[in-house]
Structure 1
Amino acid sequence: MNRSDVLRLAQPSLRRFAPGVLLGVLSALCAVGLLATAAWLITRAAEQPPILYLSAAMVAVRAFALGRATFRYLERLVSHDAAFATMPELRVGVYERLVPVSPDGLGRARRGDLLSRLVSDVDEQQNLPLRVLQPLLVSGLTAVVAVVVVWIILPAAGIVLLIALLLAFVLGTAANAAVSARAERSLAGLRGRYRAELGDHLENLDLLIAYGAEARSRAALAEADARLTRALVRRSAGAGITAALVTLLAGAATILILVVGVPQLGQGGFDGPALALIALVPLAVFEVFAMIPLAAGAWRQVAASAERIASVVPDAVPAGIPAEGGAGDRALRPVPDGPVSVALRDVSARWPGESADALQGFNLTVGPGDRILVRGASGSGKTTLAHVLVRFLEHGGRYELDGVDVREYPQDAVRQVVGLCEQRPHLFDDDIRQNLLFARDTATDDDLRAVLERVGLGEWLRERGGLTARVGERGALVSGGQAQRIALARALLAEFPVLVLDEPTANVDPERADALLDDLLRAAASADRAVLLISHTPVPEHLVTATVHLPTPTPR
């Protein structure tokens, strides 16, 4: 996905976009017509003509006043509806491109910055039709109509108005760019950085306090906030200067029209009411025209946000990330039902962006009922192996499920066969029931209680008050061991034929690690399920059927 793809998804179709533009033009013309007609009516009424001569103008004033409000309301309704209608497609389009490369293909994107790209930067795209294209079209068409009408009444005044509008466009756009362009382009990135700093600070606050680093983290957060604030102030300053410049030119245009118009009074039917009409038209036209210089600033923000979205969504699957359809032109197979065997033959893998393999020449065979312990020192590729098994990472060598190369199966289907319980399982900020149901949404409360009993959380569940007890943000209200047990309960509900436990005791006190492993493996043990336990710490031999050692990769 590139920037043009993002902008294309953000722009409504012509069928939905055109009515908003038409209503906007009608509202703007009514605003200009209201001021011009009112000026003519007041001036003509001062001459005390028969009321019949004023009735048409009086009706026009009422019509323009009602039309301005009505068309404005309808324009806001229609144009926002059209802009909002593109957001689901854009969001879904972004997520559809992210899912195949997640989680390992997102590089080193910080969570807060990634969230900013997927929320704030996507939201910014609605301003492409609302604050960039539509204002340009509405203001441009209104200005053309106004110049033509004034030129018909007094050609010299039409030329003055045209020159003033051109100067407002050139000078207003240049002034806005000079003051605000850099700030507007940097706003999206600065928001992302601030949210990343804020997320890191809040998420790791207890650790920062424990190591005396909280003040330093807070200083980095304050610095990010200060930079964002400066950019916002500069953007506001640019908008203010632009508005002031446009207002100044509107006043100048009115004065110049009076200068060229007064000498023409009484010639060719040009009278006082006509002079009042053309003299006040610039005030209304420039009010509408002021959106054009600001549209340039809005475009810079939209383009910068689109660039940030495109940068996190790659055009192609990065090297090291599995691409769907790896079997070439052949149709992908359905995954086998029931028990599954896994075979790895000379498998190697590396993380995206790295030049060296994290896993080299690994061989392994796992069958139903096996409980295999994979041991290795830090850096030997244990987590890499886990991510290869669930197809988060591409691999060299051969990886088979029931004797068939795994690339011949859809990736999502492989993940229905091979399940992963990570070192730090993610728990949603919800109750226990909802943290389990997404693994099998048809499970009853009795099913959920039964699986929690299997993983040793039955008594704990009753003490917490049942399935409605909340676990806190990212599992803040449960211990590391309890989080691992909940993650295993989810895996058991999903009924994975192959289950990978990646360092399940990494966040558990050493004295409780053996008891946790014993409970986890006994709960997961089944004649139809293969269990792969990845750990760098010793595991009692009676809990596993075999042990495999991962050597540390050698540089190539």
Structure 2
Amino acid sequence: MSVAERLVPGLGADEARVLDAALPAPRRIWPAIAWGILWGLSVVLLLATSAYLITRASLIIHILWLGWAIVAVRAFALGRAVFRYLRQLMGHDASFRQLAELRVDLLDRLIPLAPAGLRTTRRGDLLARLVDDVDELQFYPLRVVEPLVSSLAVAVLAVIGVGLVSWPAALTLLACLVAALLVATGAQLRIAGQADRAVAPLRSALSDRIHDTVTNLATLRAYGALDAQLAKVRDADAQLRRALVRRSIGEGIVTGTVTVFAGLATAGALFWGIEPTVRGELAPELLTLTALVPLALFEVFAQVPQAIAAWRRVRVSAQRVASAAPADVPAELPQEFEGGTELPDGPLDLELRGASVLWPGASEPVLDGLDLRIPAGSRLLVTGESGAGKTTFANALVRFLDYRGSYTIGGVEARELSPDAVRRGIGLIEQRAHLFDESIRQNLLFANTEATDAQLTAALERVGLGAWVRERGGLDAPVGERGTLVSGGQAQRIALARALLADFRVLILDEPTANVDPGRADALVADLLGAAAADRTVILISHTPVDPALVTATLRL
């Protein structure tokens, strides 16, 4: 059982895992807690010794009797500033270091899910989970764990200290602390609890709509739909703003409630202390001390209801992060693992026997009982109506999706190979080949970081882009964000050049002519199929007719 599950019953396993990942190791978090306790004690003791000093100074004449109190006031004043700085420094250092580890862990868990397991998650929502929700988790150690531990420790010590002077005043202080916690937390939960839970999804919805607007700006403007889309963005922004205002109201009520009970604790200390002081049973300077300590203590204790409110926000973010990257990869997705059998050397034969493939969350397989043998060096054309399973077939071959039955690569069952090993031998160029917002050179170097300019140029020549690249100014020419500065056919050719540099032994082309003019489609297909070496297998997925002379076999799904 994880730490979070032991402390908070009812947490889900994935949620607890995320919270544990967001909590720094004890060697990192405990120094921040220790400095926090020292800061809280300095706050309380500064006001206590100041009250004692002022009252004592009004009762005696010689300053020598006040030396220790003067030194204590100066020490606690310096300690309040120094310990607060060290607390913030150590706490943020621990939290930020842990945040980096959490981001890496989250990406490690997302990699086995991409792309098949993320197809139901909108990009804006996923971006909000990766950025906003993960950022919110930094407040788990900073605004939940450390404030709770240090504030409660200081409160216990302060109540004990006041009890040594006046136990009725200590009991009153304790009652006010408990009442402030219950009232402030209850009021905050009633007013802002729903807003706390709604902020993260509303922020995600706003991010999603902004992402849709920015990425489809040209299309929205061309069809006159931009104003309607902007209205949706404004509506999402208004909903988020209302939730944030409700949350701020709750935080204000917490602050006001704590202030009221601090005053009540001070009044209670005076009520219990004035009569003993008049009778001479309690020194006046001690009466002042017990009356003013609650004011300082409640400044520290105010962090407790705020930490409880922060806990709700952190938990919502943890739930969203956990749902984006569960601990267990769904059965329909290939498991990532280290080691395993490596691909055999040389050309690869692919063979499927009784293979079935389904997408995560689907009840029925898209492909069922598929029997197929693809000899090395083949040029296979895969056709079929939209929805027939052509893209599913491609995703299964590169192990983005798991399969049932048998699928061997070079005589080795694909399940015995890690997905990374499969993808080192089998490459997929998707319908919309992704180009990074970099130069042509950098887009090619992603496939082979050690390739020379001569090798890059040779690969571009093989796909028919040599003259075009020279006209653009060479390899340093930019391609724009998502390839906006190149045509669809040029993007496909750049992606093919990248695949040639990676030296895939099996190359899958998914609808390479989807974004190309019909007049140029045949030339592009011929270039794509001809660029690969004769011993390399090429699987061409297309719903448009292809010259039969260019392929060696056809599979219709």
When normalised by structure 2's length, the TM-score is: 0.94
Distance 1:250 1:184 in 2: 26
Partner of 2:98: 86
Task: Identify the match of residue 348 of structure 1 among 356, 361, 368.
Answer: 356
Q: For residues 214-363 of structure 1, what are the structure 2 equivalents within 5 Å?
A: 214-267=226-279, 270-324=282-336, 332-363=340-371
Cα distance per residue 1:33-72 (max 9 Å; x no partner): 1111112212222335201011111111110011111111
The structural deviation recorded for 1:267 is: 4.1
Task: Identify the match of residue 541 of structure 2 among 522, 534, 542.
Answer: 534
Write the letter of the residue equivalent to 1:143: A
Write the letter of the residue equivalent to 1:437: L
Aligned residues of 1:175 and 1:241 also touching (Cα < 8 A): yes
Q: For residues 191-206 of structure 1, what are the structure 2 equivalents within 5 Å?
A: 191-206=203-218
Aligned residues of 1:43 and 1:273 also touching (Cα < 8 A): yes
Partner of 1:553: none
Aligned residues of 2:343 and 2:410 also touching (Cα < 8 A): no
| RMSD between aligned residues | 1.8
The structural deviation recorded for 1:401 is: 1.4
The structural deviation recorded for 1:80 is: 1.7
The structural deviation recorded for 1:529 is: 0.6
Aligned residues of 1:374 and 1:547 also touching (Cα < 8 A): yes
Write the letter of the residue equivalent to 2:193: A
Comparing 112-121 and 288-297, the one that deviates more: 112-121
Task: Identify the match of residue 177 of structure 2 among 146, 165, 169.
Answer: 165
Matched, 1:365 2:377: no
Write the letter of the residue equivalent to 2:493: R
Distance 2:181 2:361 in 1: 46
Partner of 2:49: 37
Q: 2:474 is paired with a residue of what secondary structure?
A: coil
Q: 1:532 is paired with a residue of what secondary structure?
A: strand
Distance 2:400 2:341 in 1: 19
The structural deviation recorded for 1:218 is: 2.0
Partner of 2:553: 546
Partner of 1:112: 124
Distance 2:392 2:50 in 1: 75
The structural deviation recorded for 1:269 is: 5.2
Write the letter of the residue equivalent to 2:465: L
Task: Identify the match of residue 9 of structure 1 among 7, 21, 40.
Answer: 21
Comparing 100-109 and 55-64, the one that deviates more: 100-109
Distance 2:358 2:369 in 1: 12
Write the letter of the residue equivalent to 1:191: R
The structural deviation recorded for 1:107 is: 4.3
Q: 1:2 is paired with a residue of what secondary structure?
A: helix
Cα distance per residue 1:447-476 (max 9 Å; x no partner): 222212222222222232222222222122
Cα distance per residue 1:313-341 (max 9 Å; x no partner): 23432232223579xxxx83211122111
Distance 1:452 1:46 in 2: 91
Comparing 269-278 and 479-488, the one that deviates more: 269-278
Distance 2:363 2:298 in 1: 59
Matched, 1:495 2:542: no
Q: For residues 35-184 of structure 1, what are the structure 2 equivalents within 5 Å?
A: 35-184=47-196
Distance 1:129 1:324, change over 3 A: closer
Aligned residues of 1:183 and 1:232 also touching (Cα < 8 A): yes
The structural deviation recorded for 1:18 is: 1.6
Distance 1:354 1:212 in 2: 36
Distance 1:435 1:183 in 2: 44
Aligned residues: 545
Partner of 2:442: 434
Cα distance per residue 1:232-272 (max 9 Å; x no partner): 11111110111011112112222232232222215455232
Aligned residues of 2:181 and 2:304 also touching (Cα < 8 A): yes
Distance 1:90 1:20 in 2: 19
Distance 2:201 2:489 in 1: 38
Distance 2:139 2:209 in 1: 26
Q: 1:363 is paired with a residue of what secondary structure?
A: strand
When normalised by structure 1's length, the TM-score is: 0.94
Distance 2:482 2:446 in 1: 16
Aligned residues of 1:107 and 1:352 also touching (Cα < 8 A): no
Matched, 1:381 2:381: no
Aligned residues of 2:379 and 2:540 also touching (Cα < 8 A): yes
Gaps of at least 5 residues in structure 2 are 1-12
Aligned residues of 1:386 and 1:500 also touching (Cα < 8 A): yes
Distance 1:2 1:58 in 2: 54
Distance 2:402 2:172 in 1: 67
Aligned residues of 2:343 and 2:412 also touching (Cα < 8 A): no
Distance 2:545 2:197 in 1: 53
Aligned residues of 1:345 and 1:361 also touching (Cα < 8 A): yes
Distance 1:402 1:136 in 2: 59
Comparing 184-193 and 85-94, the one that deviates more: 85-94
